[in-house]
Amino acid sequence: MLVCKSLITFADRFILYISMSKITKFPSALISGDCTTSSLVLDGGSIIDQCIVTAGESGTFYLQQHLLYVVLGGSVTLSCGRQSWTVGKNEMILLRKAHSVSYKKQGSPETGLFESQLFAINDELLKDFLTSLQVTIPPITEELGAQVSPMSDRLVAYCWSLSPYFNDPSAVNPGLLRLKVMELLYNVMDCSKNIFRQMLQLRQPLKTDIHHVVEDNYTSPISLDELAYLSGRSLSSFKREFQSIYGEPPAKWIREKRLTKAYQMLQSSKLSVADVAYSLGFENPTHFSRIFKEHFGVTPSSVAG
């Protein structure tokens, strides 16, 4: 049973209810109105989502913004590719955008409740914060992986102090909201040098091999802009290098790669057409079925074993 209240400041929004088979986009699912929540919105910016659940909950979301995940009670296991982390009470983790993340929540042994806050941190907010610090981003020689970090007493107190802001969202001054979000980033910087170093790297991703980026991410609902970001290149440079490597545009290659993988999955597994479509990053089964038939000349259901 869900007994939570969502708190959104800044940008885009995060959906709390996630289908087991569908990868839900974070935070655009809230923007589209797929979820009814009380929220605080500041300049179309980022988000704070506060949740309390009384039973285990699991699902998958795709990060369109960087995510600071804070746990205040219970624990959550997060998985991304071959990596997995368990975030416990008064711990946090910073996850980079353009990745699919699966989660499974566990309640506290004492209360049975899972309590968390999720902060979406968009690029503009991060830029404003780092500019205010007058920080020069050092050259990046190796990528910093996500790590679970303990929260300071001050940061824990800050998170709990947000609760009154959501009792009457319309009465909260937007200028005060901006100050509160900047306060969050200052607290995180003072609390965890590792997460602060990750924040610096978010503004200047390490240039990585295009083969590695596209092979690892083509099954996610990822945009070309996001692939370029993950590769550490501008969109124009990414497209140009991709074309020289694969001999075709990235959008065409990704679509054909997904369709070929879908054909194999339909033949060799018991998954439904909808499950295959969602697992490979297609927006919906209807769209998937149409382009599958256009490509192979048969419907997905006729291929399914």
DSSP calls for 69-131:
EEEEESEEEEEETTEEEEE-TTEEEEE-SS-EEEEEEE--TTT--EEEEEEEE-HHHHHHHHH
Residue-wise pLDDT for 96-121, tens only, equals 988 889 899 999 988 888 998 888 88
- The residue with tokens 């109105």 is 33
Question: Any bridge partners for residue 58, and if so which?
Answer: 104
- The structural domains of the chain, with segments of one domain joined by +, span 24-202, 210-303
Task: Give the strand pairing for 24-26 and 58-63.
Answer: parallel
How many Cα atoms within 13 Å fall on the side-chain side of residue 246? Answer: 19
Whether domain 210-303 has CATH 1.10.10.60: yes
pLDDT confidence of residue 87? 97
On the question of pLDDT at 21 being above 70, the answer is no
The pTM score is: 0.78
Are 120 and 101 spatial neighbours (Cβ–Cβ below 8 Å)? no
Instruction: Tell which CATH architecture fits domain 24-202.
Output: Sandwich (2.60)
Buried b / exposed e over 269-287, threshold 16 CB at 10 Å, is eebebbbbbbbbbbeebee
Beta carbons of 145 and 77 less than 8 angstroms apart: no
Degrees, nearest 5: CA angle 220-97-188: 150
Whether 210-303 and 24-202 are alike in CATH topology: the answer is no
- Please check the confidence at residue 32 and state whether its pLDDT lies above 70: no
